[in-house]
Copies of this chain bind each other. A is one copy, B any other.
């Protein structure tokens, strides 16, 4: 069969399954998630053997040790997948929640009921544990899912999916609820992205290149996360101890992730006092600091920041630092160079904090906290399917609720329109 027909068949199977998955009871979905967790652990040897095939190919291709690490299904990663599924089972079921019922003048009661989106397409790279994480979240939220991982992890992804489906079948989850695309042909993604009748939303997880490719080709709505260029603004009224602790934590605690800080903005009123203190800590942590002209007047031995450093997602121990003339300049800088991910103000001034929170429309805006808290678990969503940096449907970290929508429900007693 052709690639196009293969993908169309996967889409139709998912659409058919989605109607049944949407009506599954919470108990049955939780039973399946717990059974999946058990079976992943019971079949760890099988998973590791299949994973070894991917690792062998990867080593032959000479991929980096960081990539190899991401690709590996160790016992720790397998236990993590199982634990993740159990945590999702423990979360409240978003489906069926009814809110805001109000009575209209004609007696109609109008409210909203939360329902699944239908069929979710996940396109991802490298980490085979995404297969279990995403499948669990989609099932719990009543959706069917089509998973398309990278070719470098194909044996691992198919093995994880076969274990999940064995558990799903044992519990009576409809066939087709969880599907992994088994072909590694690049064209399969393009065919998937045409299936607007079968797939309700595409969530790509990976580098900016993958995401731009998906947006370019897709006829289906895409929830996007291009990059995380997070800013911390040290206000003139900051508590300097908090400011130093947060500016260090946001940069060095885990520099390779999207919610780490990439640019530090410092009010000129506090720069002379604050910058030398934080710079000591940055030197200890091995952070390369690139500063604007004003920063260099205070920290003479740092690198020059060039135009491309503003808005750059370094993802390593490099930091751009700019001295600004008050909060409005900081906000203007964030608007010009930011990625709508996460920004934090450090201040003890009530009005400054209020204006920053109201004036910055990134997906997460913080006061006196490290940008590293910007993820679904830390913000209390219980889980995370991704982070959206575009405003439609979801903005910021996405939990189970982001995989659902609301329909209107109307209870009448024979009303007709005059």
Chain A residues in contact with chain B, CB under 8 A? Answer: 19, 22-23, 96, 102, 104, 108, 110, 113, 115-118, 200-201, 215-216, 219, 221, 239, 241-242, 245-246, 248-250, 253, 335, 344, 357-359, 361-370, 372-374, 378-380, 390-393, 395-397, 405-417
Given contacts A373-B410, A374-B410, 8 further A-B contacts (CB under 8 A): A104-B378, A108-B369, A201-B391, A365-B410, A369-B410, A369-B416, A370-B417, A379-B408
**Closest-CB distance, A142 to chain B (whole angstroms):** 10
Q: Is the CB of B391 within 8 A of A405?
A: yes
A277 CB, nearest partner CB in chain B, Å: 15
Roughly how many angstroms separate A415 CA and B367 CA in the complex, as a whole number? 10
Q: A358-B96, A405-B392, A417-B378 are in contact. Are A412 and B221 (CB under 8 A)?
A: no
Contact B246–A408 (Cβ < 8 Å): no
The answer to whether B221 and A413 touch across the interface, beta carbons within 8 angstroms, is no
Closest to A388 in B: B405
Does B410 lie within 8 Å of A364, measured CB to CB?
yes
Contact partners of A416 in chain B: CB under 8 A: 245-246, 248-250, 253, 369-370, 372
Report whether B22 and A361 are in contact in the complex, using a CB–CB cutoff of 8 Å. yes
Q: Are A253 and B373 in contact (CB under 8 A)?
A: no
Task: Tell me whether A417 and B372 are in contact (CB under 8 A).
Answer: yes
Give which listed residue, B23, B219, B413, contacts A359 with CB less than 8 A: B23
Q: Which residue of B lies closest to A360 (CB)?
A: B407
